[in-house]
Amino acid sequence: MSENLSVTIEQRRSGARLIKFAGSLDEHNRLRELGAKIDPGAALINLSGVDRVEDSGIQPWLDWLATLESKGIKPALIACSPAVVARFNSDETFARNAIIKSFHVPYRCVACEREKLMLVHVVDMPPDPHEVPVLACDGCDAAMTCTENAEEYLAFLRRARKPGERTRNLARGSASAVSTESLKAANAPKLQERSRPSLSAYQLHDVGRNSERTLEVLQATAMTEKRFVLVLIVCLVAAVGILVLMLL
């Protein structure tokens, strides 16, 4: 056996599989066998231990991801190593449809020459990232320097945002304006929905009652007024009649 890639599978309590890769991803692998073993469901693929990705390893890797997808598995790539991130940046299709959840950023301390990998979650990165997070050295507390060109290293993020990132992708180029608008849009209709129908229903109900009552009262008043006038006329006629009779 000359596999340069070791793969371990753990079952998590949540039911998701944690598939951990380590070593060199090249043509010497058992990915084809591994694809057949994995049942449908969620799969977290930890790539922190992948220190090399050879050109010869790309096709087996893509075929393996395709096998997972064909089984209805939605793979999420976590803790991607710098070697994997380099592939994300050089080959847009390297992650296929997998969600990239987290990756490592390599740092070095200029003062004491310590090196460190920082785990960064994609959701924590700004919408259009150009800068890596600040990291203090464990040895001398100085700010560490990213050993890669930050903008180039983070370039994959611009197309990798997948979990619920549709709006952020649309907002690109005018992030602040769009987010304000979306905030307004999110707030305004809610307020209207909450206040207007209940208020108007209440008002309509009340106004309806009032107007009905007023109408009834008005009608009643009109009726009594008519009767009163009629009675008055009858009385007057009667009085006039009596007067005429008395004079005669």
Contact residues toward Zn ion (CB under 5 A) are: 109, 111-112, 137, 139-140, 142
Least CB distance to Zn ion at residue 117 (A):
15
Closest C-alpha among 73, 21, 72, 78 to residue 44: 78
Rounded Cα–Cα distance for residues 185 and 179 (Å): 10
Q: Which is nearer to Zn ion, 53 or 137 (CB)?
A: 137
Q: Which is nearer to Zn ion, 38 or 135 (CB)?
A: 135
C-alpha to C-alpha distances, 22 to 83, 86, 89, nearest whole angstrom: 11, 16, 20
Return the H-helix or E-strand segment holding 184. Answer: helix 175-247
Rounded Cα–Cα distance for residues 242 and 248 (Å): 10
What is the phi/psi pair of residue 238, to 5°?
Answer: -65, -45
Sheet with 17-25, strands from edge to edge, namely 5-11, 17-25, 42-53, 74-78, 99-100
Least CB distance to Zn ion at residue 75 (A):
37
Q: Which is nearer to Zn ion, 107 or 156 (CB)?
A: 107
Least CB distance to Zn ion at residue 105 (A):
16
Q: Which is nearer to Zn ion, 52 or 116 (CB)?
A: 116
Q: Which is nearer to Zn ion, 5 or 146 (CB)?
A: 146
Rounded Cα–Cα distance for residues 26 and 232 (Å): 114
Least CB distance to Zn ion at residue 106 (A):
15
Least CB distance to Zn ion at residue 115 (A):
10
